[in-house]
Structure 1
Amino acid sequence: MLRISNEPFDAGRELSAFEAEATGAGGIVSFTGLVRDHASSGAVRALTLQAYSPMTERGIETAMAEARERWPLMALKVIHRTGEMAPGEAIVFVAAASIHRRAAFEAADFLMDYLKTEAVFWKKEATATGEHWIEPRSQDYQDRARWAKV
Structure 2
Amino acid sequence: MVAGWFTGEGDAFRLLGTRCSACLSVFFPREDGHCRNPGCPGGELEEVPLSRRGRIWSYTDTRYRPPSPYVSDPELPWVPYALIAVELEAERIVVLGQAAAGVTVADLAVGMEVEVVPGVLSEDAETTWTTWKWRPAAGGHGGRRRAAT
User: So what's the TM-score if we normalise by structure 1?
Assistant: 0.22
Higher helix share: 1
